[in-house]
A = this chain, B = another copy of it.
């Protein structure tokens, strides 16, 4: 059977939990085209998330954030494989985006359950509206109370959240990134990148969404330019390639994404995964890999606001044996 392009109906589930009923079954090699909703459930026309798209499990409370497309069952994917997600196209499809700051979200403030506790009064919450000029690929922000009253920034759209069913049945992937990917808020999951996700449950149960039109490192205020897009992904199962953490690849870098708390351990997770990759697949002696990466490797602090933080470790492909 030839590979196919599936048009995913916009039935949206909030979680990538493996026991959810898949909305789509696909094969390795297939492509999927679908339109996402924003982090609060609004679509490209400004319609809110319909009640029937909200998960209905008695006795369970769901976070109101990050409704995702999926889960998608990939037939060939089995635990121990990797799911290569080729991000082929992200086309923004709405002339606006919002950002916000919250009294209990964002790590330089106090934070809700299980995170950062303070005696201080909360910060003042607020919304920030951006206009997206899709022709010129810029975002516009008005700041009447600042000396510079208006700013224009280039857009670089990416998937804020993309992941598979986690091991151990963990189910709060709406906000929490981890070894299954999820809400990593990585600027690297953009057009042209291939994301390799470890498959923890047979079928993988891929889900994604939460488009960011632009974002700085750390997603400091707790939100990026939150909007919607039409997204084209091509999926490919790589058999018997067990990964501990998501890996990524673009024209310049091989990369790994570690997500945990505290921040240092997210960094350590990413670096150990990168070291293992260099040794196992590229034939570096262990301490040579560590030495070389110490001199040429870079890192990016992903988000520092989610329940777990994300650090991306990057190694330039020009120093890999295959690039000689």
- A: residues with CB less than 8 A from B are 15, 17-19, 57-63, 79, 99, 101, 106-110, 113-124, 126, 128, 139, 141, 143, 145-148, 151, 153, 165, 167-172, 174, 178-179, 200-203, 205, 214-225, 244, 258-265, 267-269, 271-272, 275, 282-285, 287-301, 304, 308-309, 311, 319-321, 324
**How many subunits of this chain does the assembly comprise?**
4
Known: A107-B264, A148-B283. A291 touches B99 (CB 8 A): yes
In the complex, chain B residues whose CB is within 8 Å of the CB of A148: 282-284, 319-321, 324
In the complex, chain B residues whose CB is within 8 Å of the CB of A290: 101, 119, 220-221
CA distance A297 to B301 in the complex (A): 11
CA distance A296 to B118 in the complex (A): 20
The answer on a CB contact under 8 Å between B285 and A145 is yes
Known: A143-B288, A284-B148, A321-B147. A99 touches B295 (CB 8 A): yes
Known: A267-B304, A285-B146. A224 touches B295 (CB 8 A): yes
In the complex, chain B residues whose CB is within 8 Å of the CB of A106: 119
The answer on a CB contact under 8 Å between B151 and A293 is no
CA distance A117 to B179 in the complex (A): 14
CA distance A115 to B202 in the complex (A): 25
Contact of A59 among B15, B141, B201, B309 (CB under 8 A): B201
CA distance A122 to B244 in the complex (A): 17
The answer on a CB contact under 8 Å between A295 and B117 is no
